[in-house]
A and B are shown apart, each in its own frame.
Chain A
Amino acid sequence: MITLSHYLFLSMILFALGVTGLMVRRNAIILLMSVELMLNAANLAVVAFARFRPAPASADNGMVLVFMVMAVAAAEVAIGLAILLNLYRQRRTVNADELNVLKG
């Protein structure tokens, strides 16, 4: 039987993978993708909570929230990739360790 905990567990695993990618990898594009993975994991948890609440008659709230998160994630990726593109033009690298212009 599949319960709420199964979905939460999967969501936790995906979120942990996203955090791991964010900490371990140095390629800025992969860092962006890890953030997307974490957002997806959170979305999965929200949808599971909406589905498993005792009276799901007005559970659209969770779905609307996930919809908003998707829109914000799309905006975030567009801006992030534009910044990366600009950065690559000027520094010829997307390695997060070499990007230290803002360091005092």
Chain B
Amino acid sequence: MMLNALYFWFFGTLAAVCGLGVVLSRHPMHSAISLVGTMIAIAALFLQLHSEFLAYAQIIVYTGAVMVLIVFTISLLNLRQTAGNPMCPSRWWGVVFVALLLLVFSAYQLIDKSHGFAGPARPSVPPDYGQVPTVARSLFTTYLFPFEFVAVLLTAAVIGATVLARQDPEQHPTEQEEQK
């Protein structure tokens, strides 16, 4: 039980610190690396919640595919360091609002004795909980239509991304010369 709490606090802190790094880093590449850390920490927390399938999917989809795409785009754009503060100070009032929400939520959790931080412990689960066969069974029976629909969505996204990112040689003649 003690080890369980230690595991949660370690990866929870890692996720929060890396999330802070995403927001505060000056260079987008540092933000991307921080985001990888957050996603790995969340995958570790999925493991603690007995959702093995989702933990692996998280690693493969997010750190394996999404973040590689983002990192490649950052290096492709070759962004110049913008001078001055990358933050926008006039929007800090929104941050104050978010902090206020956070405060209200944590106050509620501390006051409510039956559901808050002193709430019930996790129930025990069947041994096949969160395993690949269990998730696959409901994915291919109950949720077959949404599953197939996601396939259509991903195909549309791939075609759309290809069309959008394609470079038309006739349309940007100056850029072609720029690259030479």
List the interface of chain A (C-beta within 8 A of B): 1-10, 12-14, 16-21, 23-27, 29-30, 32-34, 36-37, 40, 43-44, 47-48, 50-57, 59-61, 63-64, 66-68, 70-79, 81-86, 88-89, 94-95, 97
Is the CB–CB distance between B119 and A5 below 8 Å? yes
Q: Given A70-B58, A86-B165, list of 11 further CB < 8 A pairs? A: A5-B115, A12-B105, A20-B94, A20-B98, A37-B22, A37-B38, A43-B42, A64-B135, A64-B139, A74-B66, A79-B161
Contact count A vs B, C-beta below 8 Å? 234
Tell me, yes or no, whether B83 is within 8 Å of chain A by CB.
no
CB-defined contacts of A57 to chain B, threshold 8 Å:
126
Is the CB–CB distance between A74 and B65 below 8 Å? yes
CB-defined contacts of B117 to chain A, threshold 8 Å:
3, 5-6, 9
By secondary structure, the A interface counts as helix
Max chain A C-beta neighbours (<10 A), residue from B4, B42, B135, B154: B42
CB-defined contacts of B92 to chain A, threshold 8 Å:
24
Q: Write out, one digit per residue, whether chain B residues 4-42 have a CB within 8 A of any chain A CB (1) or not (0).
A: 110010001001100110110000100110010011001
CB-defined contacts of B134 to chain A, threshold 8 Å:
60
CB-defined contacts of A16 to chain B, threshold 8 Å:
98-99, 101-102
Q: Write out, one digit per residue, whether chain B residues 60-75 have a CB within 8 A of any chain A CB (1) or not (0).
A: 0110011001100110
Tell me, yes or no, whether B122 is within 8 Å of chain A by CB.
yes
Is the CB–CB distance between A33 and B22 below 8 Å? yes
Given contacts A74-B66, A79-B160, contact A4 B119 (CB under 8 A): yes
Closest CB of chain A to B27's CB: distance in Å? 9
CB-defined contacts of B88 to chain A, threshold 8 Å:
23-26, 97
Is the CB–CB distance between B87 and A29 below 8 Å? no
